[in-house]
Amino acid sequence: MTPVNPVPAESAATGSYRQPGVVLTDHHFTVPLDHARPDGERIELYARELVATGKDPESLPWLLYLEGGPGFGARRFVGRQAWLERALAEYRVLLLDQRGTGRSTPVNRQTLPLRGGPAQQAEYLAHFRADSIVRDAETIRPLLTGGAPWTVLGQSFGGFCVTHYLGAAPEGLAAALITGGLPSLDATAAEVYEAAYPRIERKNRAHYARYPMDVERARRIAAHLVEHPAELPGGYLLTAEAFQSLGLLLGVSDGSHQLHYLLEDAFVPTPAGPALSDAFLEAVHAQLSFAGHPLYALVHEAIYAQDPGAPIGWAAERVRSGHPRFDAAKTLAGAEPLYFTGETIHPWHFECDPALAPLRETAELLLARTGWTPLYDRARLAVNEVPVAAAVYHDDMYVDTAHSLATARAIRGLKTWVTDEFEHDGVRAGGPRVLDRLLALVRDEV
C-alpha cells in the first residue's frame, strides 16, 4: 500500500460562536484533490471544532469524528447531543465534512459539470474513497494538533476509513474507535451484497411480524405504483422499485416504526378513486431523494473496489437478480409480502431521481473503471499497536457481522463489543453509552 505522506495544507479558522454548553469554531482547509500530485488541483475541506463551555481547548486532546456514508457531511448537532456529551467531557472534538460533503467542496449534479464531461467526472470521483479521506485527515492533523496523534471515531463508512487509517498511517492515531463499521478486508462488492440480501430479508420479516397489517398496505401501494408511477416534489418519479428503497429505514433503531407510520395512511379518497396522498408522497420524497447526498449513490459501490483488474458494474443489481423476493413484479403476481431493499444502489436510482439523472453516464463509467488500489494493508494491521475498539451490532443490516468479526481477528489487539441492543445507528441512539464503552475498552478498563 502506498504510504501516507502528508503534503502542505492551507488552513483558516473563523470566529467562535456558542450553543448550549458548547463553543464552536469553523475551520477551512485546502488539500490536494490527488495526494499523489501535491502540486495539482486543490479542494476545500470544512470542519467544525467543538469544546465544552468553560474548558481550555489547548489543554484537551483531539478527537476526530468521521461520519458514515459515503457522501454525508458530519452530523449537525445542537449542543451536546448523542455521543458528544461523553466526548466533550475530555476531548476537543472535530467534526469533519469529508471531501465532497457538507461545506467542503461540493459534489453534485450542479458542480460536477465544472469538471468536464462524464469521463472527467468519473475520474474526479475516483478520489473520494477512504484512502483519500485518510490522507486529508493526515494533512490537516499537524495544523491542529501540532503533530500529536489524535483519537478517531468512525461511524459506519467512517469506520471503513478508520480501518484504512490503521494500516496507512497508524502514527497519526492515539486510539481508534469504530461503531458499526468494520469492513471486510477483501470481499468484493458482489460478495458484500450476497451477504447483505439475507440480512435484509430478516429485517423485512421482523418488520412484518411486528406490523402484520403492513403486508397488505405495502402490496397495495406497490401495485398502485406499477399502474400509476407518481411524480414526487421536485420531479422524483416514484416507481414500485423506488418505493422498495424505503427498506433503508429498517437498519436503524426506530426505522421499522417510521416505515409503519409512512404506510398506514398512504391513500386518500378522490373523485377519481383512491390516490396516494400528498402527505405520503412528501414524506417518501424526504426519505428517498439523493439531492442532499448524491455522492452516496455515486461512489457507494466504489468503496468496496480493491481488485485492480475488475470493474464493479452494478454489483447490488446483479446480486438482486438471484433473490426473487425483492422482485416487485414477481411478488405482486403471487401472494407473498413485498420485500423492501436496503443499502443498495441500482441503475433505476439514476432514472427516478432528478438529483442523479444527469449523472447516469458518469456513474456507469465509474462502475466500469479498473485500476482500483487495495484499501486495507493486512500486513500492517496484523502488527497493529494502536489501541482500537469496535462496536459490532449483531445482525447489522448495513455491515455484515461475520465480515466484521473476521476483520477484528485480523487486526492485532482490536477489542470488540458485540451487542444486539442497538441497530446500525447505536452511536447516536445509544447516547454517551456507546462511546463510553469503547473508550473503556481501549483503556483496558473493562
Tell me phi and psi for residue 333, to 5 degrees: -75, -15
For residue 380, the SS3 value is: helix
Beta strands (DSSP E) in 9-155 are: 10-19, 22-32, 42-52, 62-66, 92-97, 150-155
Assess whether 156 carries a catalytic annotation. Answer: yes
Assess whether 396 carries a catalytic annotation. Answer: yes
The secondary structure of residue 424, as a DSSP letter, is T
Q: Give the CA angle between residues 385, 387, 388 to the nearest 5°.
A: 115
Strand arrangement, sheet containing 388-393: 10-19, 22-32, 42-52, 92-97, 62-66, 150-155, 173-179, 388-393, 415-419
Assess whether 59 carries a catalytic annotation. Answer: no
Tell me phi and psi for residue 13, to 5 degrees: -120, 135
Residue 13's alpha-carbon distances to 27, 112, 390, in angstroms, are: 4, 27, 32
For residue 283, the SS3 value is: helix
Question: What is the rounded CA–CA span in Å between residue 117 and residue 112?
Answer: 9
Q: What stretch of H or E contains 429?
A: helix 426-429
Q: Check 27, 35, 97, 156 and give the catalytic one.
A: 156
Q: Check 136, 353, 377, 396 and give the catalytic one.
A: 396
Phi-psi region of 100 (alpha: psi -120 to 50; beta: other; left: phi over 0): left
Q: Which residues contact 382 (CB under 8 A, 6 or more apart)?
A: 410, 411, 412
For residue 51, the SS3 value is: strand
Strands 42-52 and 92-97: antiparallel
Question: What is the rounded CA–CA span in Å between residue 432 and residue 311?
Answer: 41
Give me 361's grid cell: 453516464
Question: What is the rounded CA–CA span in Å between residue 157 and residue 320?
Answer: 22
Question: What is the rounded CA–CA span in Å between residue 90 and residue 52?
Answer: 9
Question: What is the rounded CA–CA span in Å between residue 202 and residue 186?
Answer: 25
| Active site positions, annotated | 156, 396, 424
